[in-house]
Amino acid sequence: MKILTNGKIISGGKELVGYDVIIEDNKIVDVKPTTEISGEKTDLKGNYIAPGFIEIHCHGGGGYEFIDATPEAFKKVCEIHAAHGTRVIYPTISATDYDTMVRVLQTAREVKNSCALEIPGIHLEGPYFALEMCGGQAPGIVRDIDRDEYESLLEEYSDIIARWDYAPEKDKDNAFLCDVIAKGILASTAHSLAKYDDVLRAFEGGNHLITHLYSCTSTITRHQGFRHLGIIESAYLLDDMYVEAIADGCHLPLDLLKMIIKLKGTDHVCLITDALRPGGIGEEGKEYTDCSVPFVIEDGVAKLLDRSAFAGSIATSDILLKTAVKAGCSIADAVKMMTETPAKVMRLDTKGKIEAGYDACFTVFDENLDIVDIVI
């Protein structure tokens, strides 16, 4: 049995002081007042202890991306994000060809249990998107839904695919959605021109997540004078819709991040990095041209070379925490959107809280919100 003491516990949107966390066999046994627990203890030295941060949308970091489909890439990306507080990660790959998807999925199977982070499954961001909403996706690879292609992937790799993003307007009969959900895979709306009717149809079919809200998500349009809601308005109108927010301080200005959290609530917002290859290392001014969508690091974010849009972020989980607090969130609420809410979205029933019965998976940080490396 292990006892963690002298830490400020952040869990369930609250802060607890004067309590110890009791662990046995990698599970939390109990959380009790310090005065009630005796025995050998690990001193957290007054730092914050939170459930391990869960990253549900991350492409890479440390100079590597998961789409590289090599054991080295998987391990290096996990190492750098682990150093910045992430404990669970869903490796994300952008729209790509069938063979590359297969290589990534096969690599994930091989190395998922030997990385610095827990990998429950792979996140496929595409390729069934609206061409007009490519953003940082490769326009030459974005395509209509290919039933033979996706059925083959579901048949062979449904055990390692955790989530699949697509544009609902390309799935008029919800056939793709139904097939994905039938395999226990989470579906999400992304890079889409969907109107409210499309979003509602998908929502009623089981698609309850919007990928990086305000990035390549449609908004109100007019057709012969009549206005039609887009994805953004649908996200607010549907109370039980979850949304991702790229909280790198660039994709969403602080006021907009604050508005998203105010309107959706911490129960329905997941903070994500959407980090690319330079995640965690920055490299201001460096151009990345040897990739499907070339980009440059400028002003602390990855931009397309023509500066017409962002290509992704270079953030890590500690940056998300600091950005949310800058936007006016309490530390407890910021942590909730990085732990409890993403755990609920991804159906991780034993993660996201510091309570009896949950996994003994933690992130420790100091009063400056910097990650502290404490051996537990």
> Which distant-in-sequence residues (6+ apart) come within 8 Å of 364 by Cβ?
7, 44, 47, 48, 49, 50, 371, 372, 373, 374
Query: Does pLDDT of 350 surpass 70?
Result: yes
Residue 81 has which token pair? 């994000």
Q: What is the pLDDT of residue 303?
A: 86
Contact indicator for 218, 133 with CB cutoff of 8 Å: yes
Residue 231 has which token pair? 């994805």
Q: How confident is the model at residue 312 (pLDDT cuts 50, 70, 90)?
A: confident
**Residue-level length of the chain:** 376
pTM of the predicted protein model? 0.95
pLDDT digits (tens, 9 = 90+) for 47-102: 999 999 999 999 999 999 999 999 999 999 999 999 999 999 999 999 999 999 99
Half-sphere exposure of 182 (CA within 13 A, CB side): 9
Cβ count near 295 (within 10 Å): 23
Q: Hey, what domains does the chain have and what are their CATH numbers? A: 1-51+352-376 (2.30.40.10), 53-346 (3.20.20.140)
Say which DSSP state 196 is in.
H
Q: How confident is the model at residue 286 (pLDDT cuts 50, 70, 90)?
A: confident
pLDDT digits (tens, 9 = 90+) for 10-47: 999 999 999 999 999 999 999 999 988 787 899 999 99
Half-sphere exposure of 64 (CA within 13 A, CB side): 17
Query: Does pLDDT of 121 surpass 90?
Result: yes
